[in-house]
Structure 1
């Protein structure tokens, strides 16, 4: 069972896409990650982009904890439909699901938001090649707000991501088979601390 851990929709259950095309982030990892993000002031009021969204659990967790805008991007048809159903069931404002490939979305005008993205969650299937993740991070860099936080979740057996400019700080947290890298892009603004 996957659920929203905390916030306005805390405890709400989320559907998981059928099949083995997605790998939902465990509640334990989401709780630890979002506790750190909230402590750093990176969630409340943020413009959040959830890439390889799957069920939408990461982006919906951000919405539950006060993000102003959340866009869930997922290419797999069944997973995008599940994310859409979860967003509707949770009923939080400012959440939108885009059924498209991450690379195509990032190259489209829809990826550019006024002021840039404040928080980006990148959680590709473990089978996605490191080179693809590197290309996604490079395409993402010009779309980020000053002080944006980028989170990448991968298998602990995977090499660390190759971070583009303007990443200034990267922290790594390991949770068994899962490793989460949290990067801050450019110096954090006033009232924001490194995650």
Structure 2
């Protein structure tokens, strides 16, 4: 019997929580402004990526570019795929649900959505626990669940964050107000 959506969400929650706690503990004093779970178009188990103000400045200087060129790019972050040892056990659970491309289109779409909902649920739980801060501190972090080059990323960001956290993201990621 493949794992349920709730079981996937629980596993992602545990893995992401451990990875994020390691990140915050190993980089004390850094101001993290972006934390995301990323998966592929096949909706395999997620990877964690994040940015801090300090890491962004250092990476932009290293690459010789403007910080805005990297600011919302999970792939350019030095913290891309951070805490893999914590998320590695989640991947077989996603695999146990089958390959999306082996399913008819409507079933594949439903399975894709289920996996992303599980990831979003996990991040929402972490937020409810205060992992991304509370009160005004929470307003300085954008939490995301992303699939590169796929629709739906903006909608998940909007659901996962208080509006106060999204001012810069909306402007810099060119997200229209009606999304």
Comparing both structures, which one devotes a greater share of its residues to helix? 2
Ranked by relative contact order (alpha carbons within 8 Å, sequence separation 6 or more), the top structure is 2
Normalising by structure 2, we get a TM-score of 0.31
Larger radius of gyration: 2
Comparing both structures, which one devotes a greater share of its residues to strand? 1
Normalising by structure 1, we get a TM-score of 0.29
